[in-house]
Every structure is written in C-alpha cells, then in structure tokens.
Structure 1
Amino acid sequence: MSDAAIATPLTRLVGVRHPLVQTGMGWVAGPRLVSAAAEAGALGILGSATMTVEQLRSSVREVRSRTAAPFGVNLRADAGDAAERVRIIIDEGVRVASFALAPSRELIARLKDAGVIVIPSVGAGRHAEKIAAWGADAVLVQGGEGGGHTGDVATGVLLPQVVDAVDIPVIAAGGFRDGRGLVAALAYGASGIAMGTRFLLTSDSTVPDAVKSRYLAATVKDVTVTTKVDGLPHRMLRTELVGSLERSGRAASLLRALRHAAAFRRETGMGWAEMVRDGLAMRHGKELSWSQVLLAANTPMMLRAAMVDGRTDLGVMAAGQVAGLIDDLPSCAELIERVMAEALATLRALPHTP
C-alpha cells in the first residue's frame, strides 16, 4: 500500500486515499476488480449495465465483503429498471452512483436525499453546467481518446472547457495510464483521473488471458473507432472481426443485431417489452434511428464474447488509445502505488519559480 497521497476535492468528497477512479466497464468491472481497486485506495466502480438486478445486489454485497473502502455503481439512467437499481444502491449503502448518461433531476435528488454521491459522465461544458445545476456532486468527462462509446474532442481540449464551466469536482478520463497523466489533469484543474483500459489490464481483472494478450500486443495504431458494432462511434481494438464488420452491408448488420438482441434477452432475463422501452429511451436520449437502436443490441453480447468467454474471434474489445502504451499486468495495488509515486516524482521535478 502506497503512503504517497495527493488530496483533492474528489478524495475529500468520496473519502478515498487517491484521486484515481476505476471505471464501471460492463463485463469487466466486477466485484474482484472493484474491491481490489477500492482496497488499494482508488474509487472502484461496479459496471452494472450488463448485470441483472439480482446480480447487482449480489455483486454489491460481494464487494462489501471484500473491502470496507468506499466504492460505487455505474448504471444507465435510461434503463427501464433504473429506479429498482437505485433502490439497491440506497438500501445497500453504496457510496457513489455514477451514470454513463445524465440522470434526471428527480433521480439525482432521490440519491442525494439518501446520502449517495452522484457523479454523471458528460461530454461538453454545457452538459456539465446543466447537471451541476441539478445537484450533481461531481462530473466525469471523457475525451475522444477513451475506450468504448466516445466523442471526437480530445481530452486536452474538452477537460479545461468543463473545468471552467462548473465549480464541482471534475474527473478526467480518456488517455490516462500513469502518474504523469494525473499531474497533467490536475494542472488543467481536474480533481482526479479515471482509467478503464489501464485497470482492465491488471492481474485483478477477470478478463481472460488470451484477451489481455491481444491488448498488450496492440500498438496505438491498432486502436480504431467504428460505428459498425452498434451504430455509434465506438473505440476498440482493430481485429479481423472489426474489419469484417466494417465491410458488412446493412442487411447483414441488422440480422446480426436481431440475433444478439435475442441472446441478450436470454442472458439478462429481460422481456421484449422491456427491451423496447430501453430502445425508446436510447432513441430519445441520443436521437438514434430505429436501425441504430436495433444495432445497439450488438454491444453487450459482442463485448461479452471477448471479455467473459475469451473469444477474440467472435467478440469486440473496447479500448482506449492508451492500450498501445501498456505492456504489463500489475495488480491494482501495484498500479496505484506506481501511479502515485510517479505523480509525486513528476511534481517534484517541475521547475519552480522564485
């Protein structure tokens, strides 16, 4: 455990030792990874979007059995069962609720009334202003370098815009892996950094070894952005499968989406009516066409094929550009100690004005 510490508004808000966040990646951020990150002093976030309600409650309790440190749960604000998941977060005493999409004013109020810290993700300064006015405690902003669904504005451009727009803690994501990145984010005015790919590539991650090997072998140029998985810009490793998806026609894409929608329904126990409700919410929130809504059913099952089943030939691997710079698999404790030690060394090495 590292004694190196940098106190920020984020660490004081959440009660963690270090201004580091392990993001709530679906199929990846389960109890083992989250508890390891939390125990080492970061804010670990469970990825609940790919869990059933029962699995979420069980996972929260498993994390609690492994560590007394604060942790959070990431969930979709537009999911049909969002209210039920929020109830679990409140009942189980989870410290933080994070959202990939902005929650409603009413949902924020319900969580805050129960003492839960609310940290939505935002993609622009105006979004941050809106969600801060609704009572969010902090915001996470991901630049275009980040893995998974992403935008096209680089972190170095987007982050200062958001920092200047709000007076609540801002967490920077997209392109971070080490202590130098933490110092850079702090210099921009952020209160900490969030890392997904870097935590995925640890020994505490349950991602199969064959998949981790593909990440470790990747260069920066092996990370691409495609809309062929679910109709939205999605940053992932470039593989033969991704190349095949890029070449596939509309009919083949829709047929594949229907097949994966049926598989996701079986996996989660969701009814078709519930899936349609979620699709309507996605269509409204992101102004998607019905074809894109249907394609969105691809994401959970294609990610599962790689992240759970280890099938790099059948699944896709969401990845930040930083994957091309990562070449080892430390434990979460080793990673966090390294990041904090490097951050302090970097700060000490900066030139000082008289």
Structure 2
Amino acid sequence: METALTRLTGVRYPVVQTGMGWVAGPRLVSAAANAGALGILASATMSPDGLRAAVREVRARTDAPFGVNLRADAADARERVRIVIDEGVRVASFALAPSGDLIAELKDAGVVVIPSVGARRHAEKVAAWGADAVLVQGGEGGGHTGDVATTVLLPQVVDAVDVPVIAAGGFRDGRGLVAALALGAAGVAMGTRFLLTSDSTVPDAVKARYLAATVRDVTVTRAVDGLPHRMLRTDLVDSLERHGRARTLARAVRHAAAFRRLSGLSWRSMLRDGWAMRHGRELTWSQVLMAANTPMLLRASMVDGRTDLGVMASGQVAGAIDDLPSCAELLDRMMTEAAEVVAGLRREP
C-alpha cells in the first residue's frame, strides 16, 4: 500500500509505531520495522550515550528505515539531534514542536522531520518551518492528549497543510487505516496497539491489565503531572487524585531524583527542561516538578511490572484490543483487512 508516507520514509506500509517511553526500545522498534511499519525509538528516557547504543542495536537488528523520537524542549536536544544525524537515522519525530533551526539542521542532513501536533495551528506552524510531515493525535490517543476527537481534528489539519498528515488516536486495525486514508491522512500511528504485541518488552502482568480493560477503564487525569494524561484508571490514579498537593509534591521530588540518576541528567538540565515545559502553559512550579513523576511512574509499570505503583498510559482503543500478535502478524492482518474493506467499498450495490 503506497502513500505519501511510504514514499517519504521508505517503509512498506503506511503505519507508524509511536515512540513510547520505556516501551519503544530496540526490540519493538526493529520488529515493527522488519514488519513494514515505521518504528520509532523513544529517546526521552535515555541518556545520550544510551540513545546512541540503542540506535546501533536497532541497526543491527534491521535494515529497514526507522526513526527516533526527540524532545524539542530538552536541554540537550541539539546533542541528540547530532546523534540522529551521525548515526544515519532516517526519521526524527518530535513530541513537541521543534524550532525552525533544528528542523533545518536535520533536513540539511537528509533526515525526515515529523513533529507531533494536537491542534491545527501547531500543524500550520511546523509545516511553515519546513517539517516534512505532521503526526496529529486526537483526544482518543494515550499519554498527553487533547480533547478534540481524531475524526474532527484530522480533516482540519489535512485541509490546513500541504505536507503528509499521519493520524493518531483510536487506531488498531485495517478498517481504521482505510478510514484515516479516506479522511485525507497518509497513514496511521499506533502506540497502544504496538505495546500490546508479543514483540513488546512490557511485562505480561501489565499487558494483562490492558487486555482486561474496557473503554470506560481508560481515563484522562491531571493528577500525575498537571497536564491532561490519558491512562488506565487504577487504584494509584484514584489515590493521586485524592491526595493533597503537599503529598503529591513530595512524591514528585523523590521521582525526580530517581529519574536524574537513571537518565544521567544534571539537576540544572532538569530545571531547564522544567522551565521549557512551563513556558507557554499555565503551570505552577509545583506542577512542573510533578512532571518528574511521569518517567518513573511509567517505568514502574512498563519495565518493573508494578501495576500497583506505576501508571499505564493508554489510548481508548485499549478497550477494543484482546490479543497479542507479533508485529508481523499485526501488519499482515491490517493490510489484509484494509484490502478487504476497500474491495467491499468498490462492489456494486
């Protein structure tokens, strides 16, 4: 299935595996890439040296194109961009809008730049700065999210920009892919669906919680880091929502210290990142510090398997997923179903 996305990135299928922290490591990324999707390595939870090692591990596992997800507001963003360029990574994706000079530096080196956006005006801005494509996530998507549904947001963005648009939020199968293409997208991006594959390194106990979830078990809360965050509703989420600010802040300080040790960042760098996160948003400094909860609470579940202590970012689509195929099985199934749907639409009534 050829689209503007496959032509731009060189992948076989117009499907992107998103860069989920602690989840999108070398094993999942290489499996997605070998299956024909665009695998995206999550770098925000890695040190620069860890990122370089992870890129090389993916390269050793696959000859297919893949990408790296970067935080544009990170204090060491330029160092990470240089790693992407030096290592010959095909695609750089961004969770927040990168500056025009970062986009130019990557494009000058032949790297495809795909920022993620949650609003039409953001898509217009990065497209004007030279982004090669945009990934637009509707409110159904997991992690930090907005409140406009994909079916409403996607056509707005498609009409507003002249670059390929990738749809995220609510996709899991071939029917969804065809629907996104009909709305003008060049492909779909999926996080939760790839998390729930046999190639994902997420512990079995955590996968079981996702598979048992209904659509109503996926909620949006500000209790973790002060920003709207879609995740599975658990006893921990209920507890965070009940506790007062002082107790939440104390928890945030502990997690910030733990993340600093794991990531190799200095306190100064973390404070710079906090300032960048606060800029342009109505966040108090206590909410900025609360954001330090996120990497460690995600790690507790996605790496350590602690469903009682960790948070589980999730798209609403988790409530409609009930199996754990390999990435290859998932992509084969999606493409077969998409072809069947298109053939059915073409039949005479």
TM-score, scaled to structure 1? 0.97
The structure 1 residue matched to 2:198, chosen from 182, 194, 203, is 203
The structure 2 residue matched to 1:130, chosen from 119, 125, 129, is 125
The structure 2 residue matched to 1:280, chosen from 275, 280, 286, is 275
SS in 2 for 1:119: strand
SS in 1 for 2:116: strand
User: Which structure 1 residue ranges, 4+ long, deviate > 4 Å from structure 2?
Assistant: 351-354
Residue number in structure 2 paired with 1:12:
7
The structure 2 residue matched to 1:38, chosen from 25, 33, 38, is 33
Superposition deviation, residue 286 in structure 1: 3.2
Residue number in structure 2 paired with 1:3:
none
Tell me the C-alpha RMSD between the 2 structures.
1.0
| Distance in 2 separating the partners of 1:168 and 1:256 | 42
Please list, as runs of the form range in 1=range in 2, the aligned pairs for 1:27-176 lying within 5 A after superposition: 27-176=22-171
The structure 2 residue matched to 1:349, chosen from 320, 344, 349, is 344
Letter in 2 for 1:289: T
Structure 1 unaligned regions, length at least 5 = 1-5
The structure 2 residue matched to 1:256, chosen from 251, 254, 260, is 251
| Distance in 1 separating the partners of 2:64 and 2:260 | 34
Letter in 1 for 2:150: T
| Distance in 2 separating the partners of 1:348 and 1:269 | 52
| Distance in 1 separating the partners of 2:293 and 2:178 | 37
SS in 2 for 1:204: coil
Letter in 2 for 1:225: V
| Distance in 2 separating the partners of 1:288 and 1:347 | 46
| Distance in 1 separating the partners of 2:348 and 2:268 | 63
TM-score, scaled to structure 2? 0.99
SS in 2 for 1:224: strand
Superposition deviation, residue 288 in structure 1: 2.2
Letter in 2 for 1:95: R
| Distance in 1 separating the partners of 2:89 and 2:346 | 42
Distance 1:352 1:164, change over 3 A: farther
Deviations 1:145-189 (A, max 9, x none): 000000000000000000000010000000000000000000000
| Distance in 1 separating the partners of 2:267 and 2:329 | 44
| Distance in 2 separating the partners of 1:256 and 1:111 | 38
SS in 2 for 1:121: strand
SS in 1 for 2:188: strand
Superposition deviation, residue 52 in structure 1: 0.7
Superposition deviation, residue 125 in structure 1: 1.2
Please list, as runs of the form range in 1=range in 2, the aligned pairs for 1:219-238 lying within 5 A after superposition: 219-238=214-233
Deviations 1:289-334 (A, max 9, x none): 2121111000000000000000000000000000001000000000
| Distance in 1 separating the partners of 2:4 and 2:264 | 40
